Amino acid sequence: MDGLDFNGVGSSPHRLEIMEKVTGAAEYIADLSRPNMLHAAITQSTVAHAKILGYDLEDALSVPGVVCILTGEDFPDGRMGAFIKDEHAIAKDKIRYFGEPVAVVAAETEAIAREAAKRVIVKYEELPAILSPEEGLAEGAAIIHEELDDYIKVFPAISSGNMASYTELNEGDLEAGFAQADLIVEGTYDTAPQAHLAIEPCGALADIDKQGRVTLWSANQSVFRVQANVCESLKMPMGKLRCLTPRVGGGFGNKMEPHIQPLVVQMCQATKRPVKMILNREEDFECVRARHPFKVRCKTGVKKDGTIVAREVEVLLDCGAFGDDSPGVLGYSLLMCLGPYRIPNSKAHGKLVYTNKLRFGAFRGFGNPQVAFAGETQLDQIAEKLGMDPLDLRQKNLIQPGDPWFGGGKVASNGLQECVDKARAASDWDNRKSRTAPKGKRRGTGVALAAHISGLLGTGAIIRVFEDGSVALNTGAVDIGQGSDTVLSQMCAEALKIPLEKVSLASPDTDGSPYNWGTTASRVTYTTGRAVVGAAAEVEKQLKEHAAQMLECSEMDLELRPGGIVGVSGSDKEVSFHQISLRAHWAAGGPIVGHHTWVFNQPTVDPKRAVCSGIPFPQVGVFSFGCLIVDTLTDEASGKTEVVEAWSAVDVGRAINPSSVEGQIVGGFVQGMGFALTEEMVWDGAKLANPTLLDYKVPTALDTPYDIHSIIVEAAEPDGPFGAKGAGEIGLVPVPAAIANAIADAIGGHVHSLPMKPEKVLNKMLEIEDAT
Amino acid sequence: MSHPVTLTVNGKENEVSCGATTTLLTVLRDTLALTGSKRGCNQGVCGACTVLVDGTPVRACLTLAVNTEGQSITTIEGLPEGGELKPIQQAIIDSDAVQCGFCTSGMILTAHEFLQRNNNPSIDDIRTALSGNICRCSGYRKIVDAVALAASRGGA
């Protein structure tokens, strides 16, 4: 902007809240307290599937300092759920998984609450536990949700028995496609459940006022989803609950839908005192949510020259005990399962099955990394059989600018080719075979491509001009650490040509903020950014109306000038936002408020191209693309793989804050690397066996290569704010597949199962050795 | 059974009452309202509760408060001197090495102590030094860069 450093779009100012975060002053949910506050703890079920016969609270109530104990009998019969309203606030009449909250205890201290919670006795009549989707689908299986048919569903769900939903997409003629193929490769691939493991465990704090209105703070990704879920499950009018947010210590999908907020609100209403509950790490593992384990059958037909002619993908998802975001994950994984390729004849179909495990739900990538693992490793298997370079095979089949997505949805911007070219060049892909390995190790290089959406649902922004000419931006979008407060403020500053420090950002508040569906689906930069740009345009219009009267000229002749000034084009006549705002507040027109709301409305499916059923979201999003190349070393003796270097090229439309985009690319890579190599939630029967950081291994700095190269590609999205689209998830999507392909390059065969821990890789090496 | 214990935190003596099994983290957060030290796992793994005891990084969640009597405890709140950030804090800012911030306090204290011992670390030295502090957001790259930047500026 005229050479001035305004920290607008395309620059990387430090986070607005950086000072509080480096001095320990930032307040997260566990750091909050209220006068006269009670502390709450949960009692968890010790069986997976049972009828609740009754409770014995006598021993628990005898603990000095206990104030109140609530069980399912004390909760209304409301049910919540993003897609299928199947979940009570707490186990009521029935237990559906081991570790499910069955009682809440409030006491004067957390220690007392936890001690009493251990003494709550629940009388059960056990039912057969369903611990896998296959068991759930078996004839005569115990039914987990007897009332499934009666539940409210927000999409045309196909469900019966233990099957929560079935989704199918078809394009072209699958049989004819396979009939044209010279080579057909089919394989099955499975992925393990992954824990989100935000370092901050989930928690909530509620207080109640003299009118009985509740204010709720919690670790969350959307104050509006918190409000909706609590009100649905507790049958409260939405006006009776105000939801706010402190700083959030990481959220990767786990804090989007409810965790313990309804329990805390109900306890607050019962005791008429402030109530706080913070889950410990084990509880956070056992009863929040996790990434779905997938079983994927993938079948691809190609011509001799590498042209892909047909693909069929069938998935089987473990839903866990409640629907949560699972129908969305099923539908989205099927929508994305072809990858960013032209495949004319395709069928994708799958089932989501209730089991007696914790709910599986949204996790960065939303089902896409799992199907990408199947599809992208299968492409390498095809390339090997055809004797083609894996990247050349992909290049031959790339979705081209102007092509629609699977199902017929429009793809407006497409920077995939540039991603491929840049990653190929930066990684020196064509000379990869010349790279050597130390003795005892095998070097591999792998590639995977990806696409992901940013979009979905409703959002808004309000910009007010203060008397002094600075502005307040209010969007309701929760910054979960990714940096959206800064990015949205940068966009507001850029649109109004004012310095970043002239924008003050309101914290999300269901009373005062415009609706924002949530910080999820890589959507805040794109959807909320568009709302910010729209609200700024409205403010600009009002500023010019005032300025035209003040300067006695036509609005058409006015322009925004850097620094909060409206001037007459070609003249030095101008007025400041400050002068305009004083007039608006005290003399004419009224205070300036601009707002813009919208809902993403581009159809997912074009009925002329595709035949689909059970689609969970009719309007999904715009598309980001990526190409990832990784270099790995696999130890010949142990099978252990380390990533040595990675090149991740990602098309984000426009990097509003390039440093934050790099943070998303690298952070997503490392979370994907954990998913690929080490992370796995393991059950011993119905009980989670490793709900601790000692036994569940996330990457440390030493497990993580330093050389993770972020390559930002900017193919502007025509209707994106300043061309931007999302960057939050795309960097993770191709990671397991690229690492799998690198390992296969190193050892000569593919491991079809995540995580690719040393024993699996070693067994594969031995299997290959035995065969030769 | 509670005992009166005098803890020296950030240069200030505090008489607190704590039980034999009360951890330093609980006293810091709940009694002294120094909430910059975070409870991520309460099992000594994540490193978010790292504080310095007589200059050595310890896991406050595994340290019994009574055992720190007579020692000098430094938390993130006490790290700046005279209101001025330590070089590692400034380097964390300049490297954009914070996302959610929940690991940041522990990461800074670990790095601060490391840089006092090693003023010319290699990238691998830094990766090793930080390997007891888990960050789930950043992928570590910018944190490693920040430690290298602080070292290059000759500070800790």
A244-262 per-position pLDDT tens digit: 999 999 999 999 999 999 9
Question: What is the mean pLDDT of the segment spanning A293-298?
Answer: 98
Domain ranges within chain B, ordered by starting residue: 2-76, 87-152
Yes or no, beta carbons of A200 and B46 under 8 Å apart: no
Q: What pLDDT, on a 0 to 100 scale, did the predictor assign at position A5?
A: 63
Pairing label, strands B72-74, A94-95: unpaired
Rounded to the nearest 5°, which phi and psi values hold at A686?
-90, -5
Using only the alpha carbons of chain A, give its radius of gyration. Answer: 27
- Which CA distances in Å does A600 have to A107, A166, A471, A473, A530? 45, 24, 26, 21, 10
- Between A18, A249, A702, which is nearest B131 by CB? A702
Rounded distance, CA A47 to CA A49, Å? 6
| Residue A249 neighbours by CB under 8 Å, 6+ apart | A28, A198, A199, A200, A219, A481, B38, B100, B101, B102
Which residues in chain B have their CB less than 8 angstroms from residue A17's CB?
101
Residue B87 near residue B150 (C-beta atoms within 8 A): yes
How many other C-beta atoms are found inside a 10 Å radius of the C-beta of residue A613? 12
Cis peptide bond N-terminal to A755, omega within 30: yes
CA angle in degrees (0–180, nearest 5) for A716-A669-A437: 120
Q: What pLDDT, on a 0 to 100 scale, did the predictor assign at position A723?
A: 97
- Between B36, B92, B144, which is nearest A706 by CB? B144
**Mean pLDDT (chain A, rounded):** 97
Which residues in chain B have their CB less than 8 angstroms from residue A202's CB?
none
Which residues in chain A have their CB less than 8 angstroms from residue B128's CB?
701-702
Yes or no, beta carbons of A693 and B127 under 8 Å apart: no
Using only the alpha carbons of chain B, give its radius of gyration. Answer: 15
Rounded distance, CA B74 to CA B3, Å? 22
Name the residue among A544, A541, A362, A536 with its Cα closest to residue A460: A536
Position A103, amino acid? A
Yes or no, beta carbons of A670 and B139 under 8 Å apart: yes
* Minimum CA–CA partner of B99 in chain A: A481
Helices A261-271/A223-234 angle, 10° precision: 60
Tokens of B152: 């290059």
For CA atoms A610, A616, A622, A626, the dihedral sign is negative
Question: What is the mean pLDDT of the segment spanning A452-469?
Answer: 97
Rounded distance, CA B135 to CA A700, Å? 7
Q: Is it the case that residue A1 has pLDDT exceeding 50? A: no
H or E, element range at A383: helix A368-386
Yes or no, beta carbons of B36 and A22 under 8 Å apart: no
Please give, one letter per residue, the 3-state secondary structure of A235-261.
CCCHHHEEEECCECCCCCCCCCCCCCH
For CA atoms A508, A513, A516, A517, the dihedral sign is positive
Tell me the CA end-to-end span of chain A in Å, nearest whole number.
Answer: 65
User: Which stretches of chain B score pLDDT less than 70?
Assistant: none
Position A30, amino acid? A
Rounded distance, CA A427 to CA A722, Å? 30
Confidence of residue A4 (pLDDT cuts 50, 70, 90): low
Q: Examine domains B2-76 and B87-152 and report if their fold is the same.
A: no
- Percent helix, strand, coil in chain A, to 5, is 30, 25, 45
> pLDDT tens digits for A441-459?
999 999 999 999 999 999 9
Q: Could you write out the DSSP letters of every residue in A318-378?
A: EEESS-TTHHHHHHHHHHHTT-SB--SEEEEEEEEEE-SSPPB---TTTTHHHHHHHHHHH
Rounded distance, CA A731 to CA A742, Å? 17
Name the residue among A717, A720, A170 with its Cα closest to residue A408: A170
Residue A60 near residue A119 (C-beta atoms within 8 A): yes
Q: Where are the alpha helices (DSSP H) in chain B?
A: 24-26, 87-94, 104-117, 123-129, 141-152
ipTM: 0.98
Provide, rounded to the nearest whole percent, the portion of chain A with pLDDT above 90: 99
Question: What is the mean pLDDT of the segment spanning A384-398?
Answer: 98
Distance of residue B70 Cα from the nearest chain A Cα, in angstroms? 24
Q: What pLDDT, on a 0 to 100 scale, did the predictor assign at position B2?
A: 84
H or E, element range at A300: strand A294-302
H or E, element range at A263: helix A261-271
Question: What is the mean pLDDT of the segment spanning A638-651?
Answer: 98
H or E, element range at A44: strand A38-44
Sequence length of chain A is: 772
Yes or no, beta carbons of B139 and A480 under 8 Å apart: no
Name the residue among A222, A384, A358 with its Cα closest to residue A292: A358
Provide, rounded to the nearest whole percent, the portion of chain A with pLDDT above 70: 99
Sequence length of chain B is: 156
Q: What is the pTM of this model?
A: 0.97
Contacts of B84-89 spanning 24+ positions with Cβ under 8 A: B85/A22, B85/A23, B86/B112, B86/B155, B86/B156, B87/B115, B87/B150, B87/B153, B87/B154, B87/B155, B87/B156, B88/B112, B88/B115, B88/B146, B88/B147, B88/B150, B88/B155, B88/B156, B89/A22, B89/A23
* A12, A19, A21: best to mutate for the B interface, most B CBs within 10 A: A21
CA angle in degrees (0–180, nearest 5) for B75-B77-B80: 105
Question: What is the mean pLDDT of the segment spanning A494-515?
Answer: 97
Rounded distance, CA A456 to CA A523, Å? 7
For CA atoms A502, A507, A513, A519, the dihedral sign is positive
Which residues in chain A have their CB less than 8 angstroms from residue B22's CB?
none
Distance of residue A19 Cα from the nearest chain B Cα, in angstroms? 8
Which residues in chain B have their CB less than 8 angstroms from residue A702's CB?
127-128, 130-131
Q: Is B81 exposed, middle or buried (0-12, 13-18, 19+ CB in 10 A)?
A: exposed
> pLDDT tens digits for A536-592?
999 999 999 999 999 999 999 999 999 999 999 999 999 999 999 999 999 999 999
The topology (CATH level 3) of B2-76 is Ubiquitin-like (UB roll) (3.10.20)
Rounded to the nearest 5°, which phi and psi values hold at A734?
-85, 0
Question: What is the mean pLDDT of the segment spanning A434-443?
Answer: 96
Tokens of B117: 């011992």
User: In chain B, what's the furthest Cα-to-Cα distance?
Assistant: 50
Q: Is it the case that residue A383 has pLDDT exceeding 90? A: yes
Which residues in chain B have their CB less than 8 angstroms from residue A23's CB?
36, 76-77, 79-80, 85, 89
Second-level CATH architecture of B87-152: Orthogonal Bundle (1.10)
Q: How many Cβ pairs within 8 Å bridge chains A and B?
A: 167
CA angle in degrees (0–180, nearest 5) for A643-A647-A651: 140
Q: What is the four-CA torsion angle of A318, A767, A705, A732, rounded to 10 degrees?
A: -30
Q: Is it the case that residue A3 has pLDDT exceeding 60? A: no
